[in-house]
Structure 1
Amino acid sequence: MMAVEIINICLLCGRQLAEPSNKHHLIPVSKGGKNTPTILLHKICHDKIHAVFTENELKREYNTIERLQQREEISSFIKWVRKKEPEFYDKSVKTKSRRLK
């Protein structure tokens, strides 16, 4: 029987995973992604994705880790957050939908 290796890194920033963490649907559930694979990310990384992109943008253009990382705002965030401890969380990061209210 093959051993299954558990990946214990955030696929967005590359740091070791720590709490708080979230599952991210590469295609948003509200846009048909209910049964699509999820990836585990730090909560701050997950919140940043949703602060930068609308769900339509995530579905159409940013539905892979590579595409997310290529966006300037995300790549700048990654450079900044990589200097933080894995447990770091900044509560001031707001999602795009919460900022619009």
Structure 2
Amino acid sequence: MTGRVKRKAGLAEAAARAAREAPPPPCAICGRPLGAKVEWHHLVPKSEGGRVTAAVHPICHRTVHATLPNAALARDYADPAVLRTHPDIARFLRWIADKPADFHAPVRRRR
């Protein structure tokens, strides 16, 4: 028998359509839906041997690294739930809560 083999495209197309239509996953730090730009935060920094990553907003990622050194992230704040309890991060989360997903602002290190 010659000719093309017919494939069942319905299942694959349905899965692809569902993935496109699904709401974006939330940021691991602030919990807001992710926007067009996504960064991957190592929960334990790579310099400290970490391999597990989480999707985060760029502003959330920069704030975490501007606030805490890698050693403290590895030792005390490897869990996003614990990271949210840090006073400076908690203050940032209250401020960012009503901003759009792709909001951007300069991030400064603490003195």
Q: CA RMSD in A?
A: 2.2
Q: Structure 1: state its 5+ residue gaps.
A: none
C-alpha separation in 2, matches of 1:19 and 1:51: 22
Identity within the alignment, %? 34
**CA contact 2:43–2:73 (8 Å) conserved in 1:** yes
Segments of structure 2 that go 5 or more residues without pairing to the other structure are: 1-14
* Counterpart residue identity of residue 45, structure 2: P
TM-score with structure 1 setting the length: 0.80
Instruction: Tell me the distance in 1 between the aligned counterparts of 2:61 and 2:68.
Output: 11
Q: 1:29-48 maps to which residues of 2 (within 5 A)? A: 29-33=46-50, 36-48=51-63
* Equivalent residues, number: 92
- Return the match for 1:17 from 34, 39, 42: 34
The aligned runs of 1:1-101 (5 Å cut-off) are 8-33=25-50, 36-90=51-105, 92-94=106-108
**Partner Cα distance (2:70, 2:49) in 1:** 11
The aligned amino acid for 1:93 is V
What is the alpha-carbon distance in structure 1 between the residues aligned to residue 104 and residue 36 of structure 2? 9
Equivalent residues of 2:24, 2:33 under 8 A apart = no
* Superposed CA offset, 1:19-55 (max 9, x none): 322100111001111xx21000000000000011000
Retained in 2: the 8 A contact 1:51–1:95?
yes
Rg bigger for which structure? 2
> 2 CA distance for matches of 1:27 and 1:6?
27
Question: Partners of 2:24 and 2:36 in 1: how far apart?
Answer: 15
Flag the 1:24–1:6 CA change in 2: closer, same or farther, 3 A.
Answer: farther
1:83 is displaced (CA, Å) by: 1.2
